[in-house]
Amino acid sequence: MSEVSKNLLKPVRLGPYTLANRVVMAPLTRRRAGSGNVPQAMNADYYAQRASAGLIISEASQVSPQGLGYPMTPGIHTPDQVEGWKQVTKAVADKGGRIFLQLWHVGRVSHPDLQEDGALPVAPSAIKPDGEAYTVDGHKPFVTPRALETGEIPGIVGQFRRAAENALMAGFDGVEIHAANGYLLDQFLRDNSNFRTDQYGGSRRNRMRLLREVTEAVSGVWGAERVGVRLSPINAYNDISDTDPDATFGFIARELGRLGLAYLHVVETDMTGKSGDLSYDRQMVRKKFGGTYIGNGGYDKDRAEEAIASGSADLVAFGAPYIANPDLVGRFAVGGPLNKADPETIYGGDEKGYTDYPALAPKAPESPRKPPKAEEPVQGMPLDI
């Protein structure tokens, strides 16, 4: 394919795919799975409404019962969940969209109330994060997690591998490994949560070992060109930090860059404000990684256009704007206004505040005599040959 123009609404190659545009729907936890944490018809409608995004990354989906961190988030570890996801992937494909599943293990920020037999959540080290878990009975203080034994690590890698196999069966186009926002893989990466003395702790190479093993296992299922990784170098969400994020994430980006992945997806901001004046060096991380880079965190259309035109990002992921704007791409295309999300209906509940946000009304045809152009490509159609 010839060189495509560097505009937000122009096609872009991503692994084996040609995406219709560079707008990515970021993973958004909505806590609306059905019983058994099984995706349901309402979830398929929600994603199908958003299929004009160049790429959808699904909400984070736990790879095992142990990986669960909140009630009603979807899983990817049971046959029913695989069946439930099939409705979603079919609905998105029918609209010409592309969707990757985000693979998630929350590690220490789970709670015994959410674990089988009231077990302790697991973590690299037995360090209690500051803050509260969200359980079926509301917020409860985080507990001190149980440090994983070295011999349990292959089991964690196995959880991700099996989940990746399930995602393949469920009809996704690829998977994203969630190594951001203070969840299990990030707990290994950063040095305020990993005090291990085995080969999974200490040096940056050791702290990255679990992410590397998971990425290689998942790539063994999907091919690295259909696997992305998400990082959040300066995000303090879930009480996580690193004493030298530039060095840590520069190293990780370089190492991931050698694996031939579909992309690196970075949460460039801090969701908490607790990171103070730490700044994120996008150019450095992007250069060390060397492959396709998706930026995320507080972008609007203008900033996204600028990042792409200047070559500092290849695609941009929008989270919050996708809650209330199913047709975000269409709105960007015409410079239309954006709906505002209702904060009360972001997490949990039914169709209200989920699938009832309106798309812009289609423009009336210019002349009633003008016949519709049958050959015109549908927006969001995959362009791969």
Q: Which is nearer to ligand PHB, 32 or 301 (CB)?
A: 32
Where does residue 91 rank: exposed (0-12), middle (13-18), buried (19+ CB within 10 A)? buried
**Is 12 or 60 the residue whose CB approaches ligand PHB more closely?**
60
End-to-end CA distance of the chain: 9
Active-site hit among 17, 70, 183, 280:
183
Question: Between 209-222 and 153-169, two packed helices, what is the crossing angle to 10 degrees?
Answer: 30
- Identify which of residues 9 and 25 has a Cβ nearer to ligand PHB in the complex: 25
Question: Least distance to ligand PHB from the beta carbon of 75, Å?
Answer: 14
Q: Binding to ligand PHB by residue 60, rule CB under 6 A?
A: yes
Comparing CA positions, the residue from 175, 178, 176, 201 lying closest to residue 189 is 201
Could you give the angle at the alpha carbon of 31 between the alpha carbons of 29 and 33, nearest 5°?
Answer: 120
Task: Give burial (CB, 10 Å; 0-12/13-18/19+) of 379.
Answer: middle
Q: What is the largest CA-CA distance in the chain?
A: 76
Kindly tell me which of 17 and 142 has the beta carbon lying closer to ligand PHB: 142
CA dist 280 and 296 (Å) reads 12
Q: What is the three-class DSSP state of 322? A: helix
Buried b (16+ CB within 10 A) or exposed e, 233-268: bbbbbbbbbbeebbebbbbbbebbbeeebbbbbbbb
Tell me how far, at minimum, the Cβ of 51 lies from ligand PHB, in Å.
22
Nearer to ligand PHB, 29 or 52 (CB): 29
Segment 284 to 313, residues that bind ligand PHB, using CB under 6 A: none
Return the residues of window 156-185 that contact ligand PHB according to CB under 6 A. Answer: 180-181
Q: How far is the CB of 181 from ligand PHB (least distance, A)?
A: 4
Distance CA 116, CA 357 (A): 36
357 tagged catalytic:
no
Which CB sits closer to ligand PHB, 133 or 153?
133
Beta carbon nearer to ligand PHB, 28 or 99: 28
Residue 4's alpha-carbon distances to 19, 311, 320, 358, in angstroms, are 11, 13, 28, 31
| Spatial separation of the C-alpha atoms in residues 226 and 70, rounded to whole Å | 27
Q: How far apart are CA 248 and CA 250, in angstroms?
A: 6
Minimum gap (Å) between residue 1 Cβ and ligand PHB: 33
Binding residue (CB under 6 A) for ligand PHB from 46, 70, 280, 322: 70
Binding test (CB under 6 A) with ligand PHB, winner from 12, 22, 29, 322: 29
* 291 φ/ψ angles, rounded to the nearest 5 degrees: -105, -160
Size of the site for ligand PHB (CB under 6 A): 5
Other CB atoms within a 10 A radius of the CB of residue 138 amount to 8
By beta-carbon proximity to ligand PHB, the closer residue of 112 and 348 is: 348
How far is 131 from 301, CA to CA, in rounded Å? Answer: 34
Q: What is the rounded distance in angstroms from the CA atom of residue 240 to the CA atom of residue 69?
A: 16
Cβ 235 to ligand PHB shortest distance, Å:
9
Q: Is 62 in the site for ligand PHB (CB under 6 A)?
A: no
Q: Which residues are catalytic?
A: 183
Note the residues at the interface with ligand PHB (CB under 6 A): 29, 60, 70, 180-181
